Amino acid sequence: MSEVTTSYDAVVIGSGPGGEGAAMQLVKNGRNVAMIEKYRSLGGGCTHWGTIPSKALRHSVSRLIEYNTNPLFVGACAPRSMSFADILKHAQGVIEKQVQMRSGFYQRNGVTVIHGTASFEDANTIKVTQDDGTIEYIGTKQVVIATGSRPYHPPDVDFSHERIYDSDTVLSLKYEPRSIIIYGAGVIGSEYASIFRGLGVKVDLINTRDRLLSFLDAEISDALSYHLRNNGVVIRHNEEYDRIEGHEDGVTLYTKSGKRLDADCLLYANGRSGNIEELNVEALGLKPNSRGQLDVSKQYETDVDNIYAVGDIIGYPSLASAAYDQGRICATAMLEGDCEQRLIRDIPTGIYTIPEISSVGKTEEELTQQKVPYEVGRAQFKHLARAQISSMTVGSLKLLFHRETKEVLGIHCFGERAAEIIHIGQAIMEQKNGGNTIDYFVNTTFNYPTMAEAYRVAALNGLNRIRG
């Protein structure tokens, strides 16, 4: 092994949300920190291939649908269309702004950024290989692994074919497909089904399970299925591929049940794998699981005392929002030897389909199984003045609360701005000492007209169910 050229108090590998959270917390507490990023731009998969681009694409398509269906414009203006390339330009602009902003964070706070591929020599030495083959050895007291994940590639699918994509490579789509097969109806698959259908592409959504997004409250899952189908998406449940064949002008998918599906292209969106292979963690005695993920303690410490891991590389909950908090908690443990803070119990989910979905807390199915005496309060968006004004009347807010104590147990929202609306209820759910009750939504005064008013409507609806 060559000599160590530079030493740091801590090295963070991967500049996604988890790595950024850890690096900023460490450097603001006086540690000398280096960030190793494999790619030329900072931000990780979240910024370049995952959260930011897909949500930017979704926003553009949603606004296009709004324009073409809003009574203000229907009849008065010709319908508009956009190509996938058009909406990618908007997404690329957002990515560039995010990279510029995040680069500024590292510069202002004095974090040394090193671009290259990291691999462990031992627990205190990291080998960095740059694009031109230059190798540097870096010494460190502590390490945070935050390398994220990538789309899973089954060995029998030819992802080198120009008509077969994963959720990263689909962002390089150059032509305008008339039809697409999306294999995998999880969050990513459902979001892209909404995006492509919104652009007028024929979509076959293949689900290996019996319903969409089975972790959601069943009523919300059913609402998503209805609206996707109502908009023309063909959903095929309980199907698995037997083989996938790419052709010069399209793709054919054969299912194990004997079906044949043809389309211009295919997006494989079924599972993700941790980015672990290049790290050489075997040199540390660490053994990732079959998905390339590492086991960690509550402090995000691996089986090696000075090596920590956060984000997708450790699995659940695999959310950008949670990864940033994991990074901060991890850094605190590195600084102080312990950290009392934990991720909140009820982590909100935001699913950017069209319409949007967000939820926090228990589902009806979970409460029923646990034999909790709960009641339901609902507000239909079509009854809200703000939704009528904006012509965004699809969707609803659903409150689940304890029938006796009135404690809010779960909140589920389906419709435009659901991921924003959810945080009002989340804030109440986090209140202690009796502060979390449905009475808050009845007794407070909401701006009028707003979408937030749905909480008052839903709370009153729920209370009316128990007054008898």
45 is an annotated ligand-binding site residue:
yes
What type of residue is 399?
L
Cα–Cα dist 145/39, whole Å:
15
The rounded distance, in Å, linking the Cα atoms of 277 and 148 is 12
Is 377 annotated as belonging to a binding site?
A: no
Which residue in 96, 244, 109, 272 sits closest to 181, CA to CA?
Answer: 244
| Cα–Cα dist 327/21, whole Å | 5
The answer to whether 46 is a known ligand-binding residue is: yes
Q: Do the annotations mark residue 294 as ligand-binding?
A: no
Q: Is 410 annotated as a binding residue?
A: no
Is residue 74 a known part of a binding site? no
271 is in an annotated binding site: yes
* Cβ-contact 354, 58 below 8 angstroms: yes
Token output for 220: 């919300």
Residue 427 to residue 437: CA distance in whole angstroms: 11
Instruction: Say whether 468 counts as a known binding-site residue.
Output: no
Assign 136 to helix, strand or coil.
Answer: strand
Q: Is 40 marked as a binding-site residue?
A: yes
Residue 434 among known ligand-binding residues: no
From CA 222, how far away is CA 63, in angstroms rounded?
24
Annotated binding-site residue? 93? no
C-alpha distances in angstroms, 425 versus 15, 358, 412, 458?
31, 11, 10, 11
Residue 44 known to bind ligand: yes
Q: What does the DSSP assignment read for 89-106?
A: HHHHHHHHHHHHHHHHHH
Residues 259 and 387 sit within 8 Å (Cβ to Cβ):
no
Cα dihedral across residues 65, 66, 67, 69: positive or negative: positive
Give yes or no for a contact between 334 and 142, defined as CB atoms under 8 angstroms apart. yes
Q: Within 13 A of 451's CA, how many CA atoms are on the CB side?
A: 23
Bridge partner list, 231: none
Would you say 185 is a known binding-site residue? yes
Residues paired with residue 35 on neighbouring β-strands, in sequence order: 12, 113
Comparing CA positions, the residue from 155, 165, 170, 158 lying closest to residue 266 is 165
Q: Is 311 annotated as a binding residue?
A: no
Q: Is 291 annotated as a binding residue?
A: no
Q: Does 312 count as an annotated binding residue?
A: yes
Q: How far apart are CA 458 and CA 468, in angstroms?
A: 17
The reply to whether 188 sits in an annotated binding site is yes
Q: Is 273 annotated as a binding residue?
A: no
Peptide bond into 449 cis (omega under 30): yes
258 is in an annotated binding site: no
Ligand-binding annotation for 55, yes or no, is: yes
Q: Is 54 annotated as a binding residue?
A: no
Asked if 274 contacts 313 with a C-beta cutoff of 8 angstroms, the reply is: yes
190 annotated among ligand-binding-site residues = yes
Q: Is 297 annotated as a binding residue?
A: no
Radius of gyration of the chain (CA): 24
Per DSSP, helices labelled H in 284-437 are: 320-336, 364-369, 385-390, 418-429
**36 labeled binding residue:** no
What sign has the CA pseudo-torsion 8, 13, 14, 19?
A: negative
Annotated binding site for NAD(+): which residue ranges? 184-191, 271
Annotated binding site for FAD: which residue ranges? 37-46, 55, 147-149, 312
Annotated binding site: which residue ranges? 37-46, 55, 147-149, 184-191, 271, 312
